[in-house]
Amino acid sequence: MELYRYSRLSDNIIKYLRDRKLYFQNPLYFNDPFDCDLTAVSLGPEDNFDEKYELYIQLLAKRLKFVAGKLRLIDARITDYASDDTPIKDRFYFAEQWHLYLTENNALLAEIRMLTECPTSKRRETLLEAWNKKKNQVIHGLGVVCFSESNSNLLMWSHYADSHKGICLIYESEERPVVGWKQYSFHKVKYNKNRNIDVLSVGFEKAFFDLLTIKSPEWEYEKEQRLITIKGPGTQKSRMASLRGIVFGSRIKDNPGTSLVGLYGALKDMHQTRPNCPRFRYYKAVKHPSDFAVEIKELFGIQAVPDALGVVPFT
């Protein structure tokens, strides 16, 4: 499944191209202040609040049992390290998983204790406190990369690709959107005017999924999918999305010559150092002769790139 990421041409994006990496941004710095705003929530109607409150504690206990089981399995695996030939990278992975599950285990224990010991008269207030605390923990610990299902949207080229002077990277995703936390997982954005959600009915986890992937209908033209990681913001490699091509904007030649030369150099290095990887494709966005649209026209190989960028070929 192909997904597209629009970007202005910058030194950072050229570096990411060379290293085959993605930059995961923290949702707190998105351009839409309503995006991932988890404050507008519903805690359920008064008439069945206590019943849902008890059910929610049971959901937490069920999750705690699952996490504890994972910890036991990983503990056993780590114990075997002294007597087997497990590669270092796999040992690091299990240690990282153990830390993540231990952190969640301790947080679940603390939350269950707080909710069960809470007086009935203060349950709603306590639950709101738990929500806000978890909200801040989740948001600060997330990294997100935003993709589109379209590579020819005029607004996307204008807003995210420097008024058509930038690029659009083509990725082949190795899985379709899913529901459920993983180290990396794709989530399709939904569009809805209402940001409220009955947290006790759906549970905190589902509430976070919905509120991390619900945007105003005004953004529907983006046809967005998000690659979300719980490993936090920053530059990371991801096997979930593989770089397969690039589209040059219709105004790509308006960039400074040094940037264009840098882009050509990065693409040429990729072509020379990764001859066995799947064929990398090059395209140019061209203004349609009669419609308000761009046509995505394929360029035939790395040899066509200098002309598209307006640079002199070099070896």
Going from the C-alpha of 51 to that of each of 23, 47, 261, 284, the distances in angstroms are 43, 9, 64, 59
Residues 178 and 301 occupy one common structural domain: yes
Output the pLDDT for position 219: 96
| Angle of the 123-140 helix axis to the 88-116 helix axis, nearest 10 | 160
Within a domain: 35: no
Residues 134 and 155 occupy one common structural domain: no
Range(s) of the domain holding residue 103: 46-140
Among 125, 140, 155, give the residue marking a domain's end: 140
Among 140, 164, 195, give the residue marking a domain's end: 140
Calculate what percentage of the chain has a pLDDT beyond 70: 86
Output the pLDDT for position 141: 81
Calculate what percentage of the chain has a pLDDT beyond 90: 38
Given a contact cutoff of 8 angstroms between Cβ atoms, the answer to whether 195 and 40 are in contact is: yes
Residue 177, pLDDT above cutoff 60: no
Residue 254, pLDDT above cutoff 90: yes
Residues 136 and 147 occupy one common structural domain: no
How much is the mean pLDDT over the chain? 84
Give residues with Cβ within 8 angstroms of 84, minimum separation 6.
none
Among 140, 169, 191, give the residue marking a domain's end: 140
Of the listed ranges 66-70, 132-136, 290-294, the least confidently predicted one is 132-136
At residue 173's C-alpha, the angle toward residues 172 and 175, to 5°, is 150
Residues 134 and 221 occupy one common structural domain: no
Within a domain: 38: no
Within a domain: 39: no
Give residues with Cβ within 8 angstroms of 72, minimum separation 6.
none
Q: Looking at per-residue confidence, does 73 or 134 come out higher?
A: 73
Given a contact cutoff of 8 angstroms between Cβ atoms, the answer to whether 225 and 175 are in contact is: no
Confidence of residue 297 (pLDDT cuts 50, 70, 90): very high
Output the pLDDT for position 260: 95
Whole-structure pTM over 0.75, yes or no? yes
Output the pLDDT for position 180: 46
Within a domain: 259: yes
Residue 182, pLDDT above cutoff 60: no
Interatomic CA distance for residues 103 and 56, integer angstroms:
20
Residues 207 and 286 occupy one common structural domain: yes
Output the pLDDT for position 238: 66
Within a domain: 236: yes
Residues 133 and 181 occupy one common structural domain: no
Interatomic CA distance for residues 52 and 57, integer angstroms:
9
Output the pLDDT for position 228: 86
Token pair 């639950």 in the structure block, residue: 127
Residues 180 and 165 occupy one common structural domain: yes
Residue 202, pLDDT above cutoff 50: yes
Residues 238 and 269 occupy one common structural domain: yes
The structure tokens listed for 41 are 């929530």
Residues 220 and 125 occupy one common structural domain: no
Within a domain: 32: no
Residue 81, pLDDT above cutoff 70: no
Within a domain: 31: no
Most confident of 25-34, 150-159, 181-190, 210-219: 150-159
Going from the C-alpha of 77 to that of each of 71, 74, 94, 96, 100, the distances in angstroms are 10, 5, 8, 13, 15
Label residues 282-296 b or e (16+ Cβ within 10 Å = b): bbbbeeeeeeeebee
Output the pLDDT for position 168: 97
Cα atoms found within 13 Å of the Cα of residue 112, Cβ hemisphere only = 16
Output the pLDDT for position 275: 61
Residues 81 and 181 occupy one common structural domain: no
Interatomic CA distance for residues 278 and 259, integer angstroms:
26
Instruction: Domain count for the chain, please give it.
Output: 2
Residues 67 and 205 occupy one common structural domain: no
The number of helix segments (H) and strand segments (E) in the chain equals: 9, 12
Q: What is the mean pLDDT of residues 204-215?
A: 80
Ramachandran bin of 266, using left for φ above 0, alpha for ψ from -120 to 50, beta for the remaining angles: alpha
Residues 121 and 240 occupy one common structural domain: no
Within a domain: 244: yes
Confidence of residue 140 (pLDDT cuts 50, 70, 90): confident
Most confident of 95-109, 175-189, 212-226: 212-226
Output the pLDDT for position 73: 87
